[in-house]
Amino acid sequence: MKLYKTTLSVVTAGLLGLATLAALPAAAEPKKPECIAPAQPGGGFDLTCRVALNGFAETKLLGEPMRTIYMPGGIGAVAYNNIVAQRPADGSAIVAFSGGSLLNLAQGKFGKYNVNDVRWLASIGSDYGVAIVRNDSPYTDLKSLMAAFKADPTKIVLGAGGSVGSQDWMKAALTAKAAGVDYKKMRFVAFEGGGEAVTALRGGHIQAYMGDAAEARTMLDGGAPIRVLAVFNDKRLPGKMADIPTAAEQGFDINWPIIRGFYMGPKVSDAEYQWWVDAFNKLMQTPEFAKLQEQQGLFPFNVTGQEIDTYVKERVKFYTELADSFGLIKK
């Protein structure tokens, strides 16, 4: 499934003055705003909240400072259950989610609640899957890796920072499928995180790492001895990774966007919900937001309100069908 086309409008900081603040209805403005990160400090959820915290602080679109509340468990399951059951009408709380959250939601790992039980608010950017090898690897493009994979699946070990059913496992399974290899026969090693996987790649213990574009860009900037064979997107990425071809360009239908964003409780009033939608729309038009996106390695995917609601529900439907095709849905 493709991401919607979005446009990032950059305006001068001078536009953010009293006129901007006055455009947001004061009556619906949140008191003691907080961002719930469904994990321990550090990592993707913390990063997502940090973009919101810093963005709203720098632009003064929030009258009060926002704080981060950490609520780890189940890649978002604990926070999801908490906001639906305990704080459904709390208009001051936004909760971070990721593509991994949606994948788990699709697999029924959020308990009795489903995609329709919250109000999807905004996305603040996206990342994309990539296939990474060592810079001295005999595989110089995705085609050569796929050819070797298909010829003998036992000789290609794929690694990533996630267990069976996770986003990283899915990227590996989709790679196997695109190569014409039964995913049940692929050799996959799950690591605690990307750092361990890269160490294994450097040591020759795995032949390819199913990582993320932002992570790869950081490694390349740091001089890591790696080669990125393909981006799992329908079009090339902007900036420093523009020279890396997509999987589609090389003849393989692998598309894996990794969205980051926020949702709210199901009983939040329309006025409070719309206040946040308007606030994010204004934030996304600022140079401060564009800078924060770049700093956190996110690519523009700035969508709010009904558009993000539609996207999330379509994505969960896609994930459900995908997970079912890989035998991950319990019946």
Phi/psi region, residue 253 (left: phi>0; alpha: psi -120 to 50; beta: rest), is beta
**34 has a pLDDT exceeding 70:** yes
Model confidence at 7: pLDDT above 80: no
Rounded distance, CA 314 to CA 221, Å?
A: 35
- What does residue 307 show for φ and ψ, rounded to 5 degrees? -65, -40
Q: pLDDT band at residue 26, thresholds of 50, 70 and 90? A: low
Distance (Å, rounded) from C-alpha 86 to C-alpha 108?
20
Is the Cβ–Cβ distance between 125 and 155 less than 8 Å? no
- Nearest Cα neighbor of 185 from 149, 145, 148, 153 is 153
Tell me, yes or no, if the pTM score tops 0.95.
no
Helix or strand or coil: residue 130? strand
pLDDT tens-digit profile of 96-110? 999 989 998 999 989
Mean pLDDT check: name the lowest of 41-45, 131-135, 136-140, 226-230. 41-45
- State the pLDDT at residue 27: 66
Give the per-residue pLDDT at 216.
86
Residue 80 has pLDDT above 90, yes or no: yes
Pairing of β 119-134 and β 257-264: antiparallel
Mean of pLDDT values over 257-262: 94
Structure tokens at 24: 């947001």
Task: Name the percent of the chain lying above pLDDT 70.
Answer: 91
- Pull the structure tokens for residue 294: 């770049």
Number of C-beta neighbours around residue 213 at 10 A: 26
Residue 20 has pLDDT above 50, yes or no: no
Domains and CATH numbers, the chain: 13-126+258-325 (3.40.190.150), 128-250 (3.40.190.10)
Instruction: Give pLDDT tens digits for 237-254.
Output: 988 889 999 999 999 999
Per-residue confidence band for 17, with pLDDT thresholds at 50, 70 and 90 = very low
Residue reference for tokens 């900037």: 221
Please state, rounded to an integer, the average pLDDT across all residues of the chain: 88
pLDDT at residue 13, rounded to an integer: 35
pLDDT at 24: 63
CA distances from 300 to 32, 87, 123, 205, 225 (A): 28, 30, 9, 34, 27
- What does the pLDDT read at residue 14? 36
User: 3-class DSSP state for residue 36?
Assistant: strand
Q: Specify the pLDDT at position 193.
A: 66
pLDDT at position 160, please?
Answer: 83
Among 11-20, 50-59, 245-254, 315-324, the range scoring the smallest mean pLDDT is 11-20
